[in-house]
């Protein structure tokens, strides 16, 4: 199948597939004699996995770091437990991302508190 159909099958756009390829999330597919990309069902499955991982908050760099294990995730959302090491790196990456999310949430929460307290200060009558 060509890129448009593959993208539609994976629920995204041709641009996204080229973007994944450019960022080494997706291996360069075969090409027809005239240079058009040709995808198979396994590529579509892999794109689905990529989008799943991106949608839960991993970055492109995170996914690239575990690209070699992506095909292990194709059959299910996550395999039961592939043995020691098989999931260690992906889980470490996810943990790092979790920590980054926590840090960002905390930062915004502090900002929110400061702003809210400034507003309270501004709406109250003068006390001095």
* Stretch 36-75: interaction string toward DNA, x if CB under 7 A: xx-------------x--x---xxxx--------------
Residue 33 CA, chain-centre distance (Å), reads: 33
Q: Which does 126 bind (CB under 5 to 8 A by kind): DNA, its own copies, none?
A: its own copies
List all residues 6 or more positions away from 50 whose beta carbon is below 8 Å from its beta carbon: 20, 25, 26, 63, 70
Query: In the complex, what is the shortest distance from the CB of residue 23 to DNA, in angstroms, rounded to a whole number?
Result: 8
List all residues 6 or more positions away from 74 whose beta carbon is below 8 Å from its beta carbon: 42, 45, 46, 49
Residues making contact with DNA (CB under 7 A): 2-5, 12-16, 18-19, 32-37, 51, 54, 58-61
């Amino acid at each position: 199948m060509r890129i448009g159909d593959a993208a539609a099958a994976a629920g995204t756009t041709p641009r996204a597939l080229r973007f994944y390829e450019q960022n080494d999330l997706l291996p360069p597919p075969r090409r027809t004699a005239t240079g058009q990309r040709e995808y198979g069902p396994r590529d579509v499955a892999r794109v689905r996995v990529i989008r799943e991982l991106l949608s839960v908050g991993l970055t492109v760099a995170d996914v690239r770091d575990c690209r070699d294990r992506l095909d292990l995730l194709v059959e299910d959302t996550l395999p039961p437990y592939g043995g020691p090491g098989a999931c260690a790196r992906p889980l470490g990456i996810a943990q790092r991302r979790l920590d980054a999310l926590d840090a960002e949430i905390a930062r915004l929460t502090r900002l929110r508190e400061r702003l809210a307290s400034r507003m309270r200060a501004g709406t109250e009558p003068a006390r001095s």
